[in-house]
A and B are shown apart, each in its own frame.
Chain A
Amino acid sequence: MIKTGAQILWECLEQQGVTTVFGYPGGAILPAYDALKYSNIHHVLVRHEQGAAHMADGYARASGRVGVAIATSGPGATNLVTGIATAMLDSSPIVCITGQVGSKLIGSDAFQETDITGVTLPVTKHNYLVTHASEVAQTISEAFYVAKSGRPGPVLVDITKDAQQSTCEFDGKPVEPQLKGYRPDLSPTPEEYKQALELIQTAKRPVILAGHGIILSGAMDEVRAFAEKANIPVGMTLLGLGGFPASHPLNLGMMGMHGEAWLNTTIQEADLLIAFGMRFDDRVTGNLKTYAPHAKKIHVEIDRGEINKNVKVDVALIGDLKAVLRELLPHLKTLEHHEWIAHIDRLKGDSAVRDIQNLPDNGHLYAAHVINDLWHETRDGDTIIVTDVGQHQMWEAQYYKHEKPRSLITSGGLGTMGFALPAAIGAKAARPEADVWVVVGDGGFQMTMAELATMVQEKLKVNIAIINNGYLGMIRQWQEFFYERNYEASPILSPDFVKLGDAFGIRSVAVTQRAQVVPTVETAREHKGPILIDFQVEREDSVYPMVAAGASLHEMIRRPNPLIETGADA
């Protein structure tokens, strides 16, 4: 049958299982929008293309399926870039489809022309320029395959207006990707497995470092079986949270810059690090020169470009984590590390005393309390928390105890402000049965709050918890610690969020006392529609512990003991 490129596009998306796309129309993509009438795919109209990319990302992270964003040429396409870079650094499988000016006009600086394949080259896993209808089916097939296979990532497909309008024969049969050089399916050699097992079985002080790869690979059961059989404690990266249950006795919580003090110390004292699907990011390692100085390192990782990039490892097992662990598990002996675990427990005890939860009620509302109470109220349900970047994100990671994979969605690698609200909309579209909560700062929320209208138009029930301290909180904290409290450009004025929410037709409420937190969260859960809660928290609280940029992982700025309230860095 003869079809236009635009018709073929939607048919191919349907073949890939796409049911929802997030986009914004414009001149160069209009032929594609016109052909939407032939398709059952639901289009979500965003308010800014950055929102479309974040929604596709949130959709992908909530469901494991590929998220799709659509934009026009020029400004539409460039507005996607922040969202694409976010997906790139957090290995999120999304496909972005952009309209491009007619192929004859390319290079002429035509109206709304941008070389978007050139612009996105360093922030996509791969990208394509399609100039004829006959290329559409092959390209979409490859784009989805590249996005979701191996280490997932964003793929951009730029389709010229004439490619959408021109026609070719299309029989509707799925097309196989033709990617000769692309090999996402590597696996370690028997010798490498043997070396890894030897290190594991002789280690006295081992720690597992569990990253996003667990969730991407679906290796939750295998990681748990491995940790339990070998009795090795597990530290989590930010994006790993949920990949190993928080309540598990071997779980040591989050590592790194704002990680648990006992875990950072444990890593520095360890004699073996076993990294599962993580990339030794600088926020995780602190100063590389002094990082885990006594430890041998095993790195299980699907992306060979990550091996020896930041931390030199002794054994690299390059492959899919789930497959590698299935290979390792039968050969792994049951191990005990009583002394080591007892030692870590003592470290834990020393730290717990500093917990802000021990602070007697002084009438102030602390963000940590809000998160803790939110966790308490929502932990039994199918809950997804979506965070932005900054203080609230770190408090969420510390105080919300994630038991299940895909229950936390956050911008880790790129640290994108404005990510949370659109990503949550995408997550809710992917998993309508889940209880979706946005936890966001007053600064980040204002970056993309226009998407409230998208949320309302789509009738999506998303609960929004603004952690409002009147500052760009993490900036203020750095200024307090490292710039002599020179609070330059960090105080931020916000609109009346309750009135703002009302204007969008969203039930909205402000909370200033801890006693109001639980009842408000309960109300939110019972309320049928979306709700916005403005938590007006302590203005100048800081996230502890903190490893200053460039400091060693064990050199942490600690919270002054809240019981003693000396203010000294004990």
Chain B
Amino acid sequence: MRKPMLNTFVVYVENKPGVLTRVASLFRRRAFNIDSLTVGRTERPEVSRMTIVVDADRDQAMRVEANLYKLVNVLLVENVTGKPAICRDLAIIKVAASQSDRSPLLDIFNVFRARVVDFAVDSLTVEITGGEEKIDRLLEVLQPYGILEMVRTGVVAMRRGAKSEEASAAVANATGSGANGAATIAADDSSISYSV
């Protein structure tokens, strides 16, 4: 099997109803392979921000970007792959923990800086934030104890350093857009955050 080539895109979109569907539909229609997609609010209520991780070679990545720009509601696309950026995934993991396993488990959590959020008779639940690899590694280590449940948010990303001029302009431009007072319905979209 081909090793996946993961590209991370930060996409600024107008916060309007149906924009998530448009983006998801584009990926389906063009047969681009989404590894994860998250969407959430930004510092400006009229702009939402998506982080999309796509399995694509260099040419495909260019086409992903070009096709995203074809969507009328897309404000800016940044391919942050290979650029200095903070990429974070959040996982909540419920692991089986007999009394004798608790102590070694707590040691592991300590090393990974995972935080215990629930302590039950026969299980422990932790949350961990970090790069995808770090979380993959923790899961590997927990495997022998028995992972009862696990959920991950998918990656969110932000470039390091000052905000790029392009991004500032794109977000600023969106201010006051949308004469159709649809912002209240749009909240449905922006509160969704999931991996696919």
Contacts and interface: CB of A to CB of B under 8 A. Distances in A.
Nearest to B179: A138
5 contacts: A121-B22, A125-B72, A178-B179, A181-B76, A183-B69
B31 to A, nearest CB: 12
Nearest to A186: B69
A129 B181 CA distance: 12
B174 interface: yes
Nearest to A178: B177
Interface of B is mostly: mixed
B25 A181 contact: no
B69 A304 contact: yes
Contacts of B174: 180-181
Interface in A84-127: 117-118, 121-122, 125-126
A333 B73 CA distance: 42
Nearest to B180: A135
B63 A305 contact: yes
A121 B25 contact: yes
Interface residues on A, range: 20 to 34
| Closest A-B pairs by Cβ, 8 of them | A181-B75, A135-B180, A304-B66, A138-B179, A305-B66, A126-B72, A180-B173, A180-B174
A132 B185 CA distance: 14
Given A126-B72, A178-B177, A181-B13, 20 more contacts: A122-B25, A125-B72, A129-B17, A132-B181, A138-B179, A139-B180, A175-B179, A178-B178, A180-B75, A180-B173, A180-B174, A180-B177, A181-B170, A181-B174, A182-B72, A183-B69, A305-B63, A305-B67, A305-B69, A308-B63
Interface in B1-37: 13-14, 17-18, 21-22, 25, 29
B70 interface: yes
Interface string B119-137: 0000000000000000000
B59 interface: yes
A267 B66 CA distance: 28
Interface in A154-198: 175, 178-183
Interface of A: 117-118, 121-122, 125-126, 129-130, 132, 134-135, 138-139, 146, 175, 178-183, 303-305, 307-309, 312
Contacts of B39: none
Given A181-B170, A308-B62, A135 B72 contact: no
A394 to B, nearest CB: 29
A221 to B, nearest CB: 29
Interface residues on B, range: 20 to 34
A62 to B, nearest CB: 26
A232 B57 CA distance: 35
Contacts of A118: 21
Interface in B158-193: 170, 173-174, 177-181
Contacts of B74: 181
B177 to A, nearest CB: 5
A126 B170 CA distance: 20
B179 A179 contact: no
A312 B75 CA distance: 27
A121 B21 contact: yes
A309 B63 contact: yes
B14 A180 contact: yes
Interface in B40-92: 59, 62-63, 66-67, 69-76
Contact of B70 (A130, A179, A303): A303
Contact of A181 (B14, B18, B62, B67): B14
Contacts of B13: 181
Interface string B143-162: 00000000000000000000
A307 to B, nearest CB: 7
Nearest to B17: A129
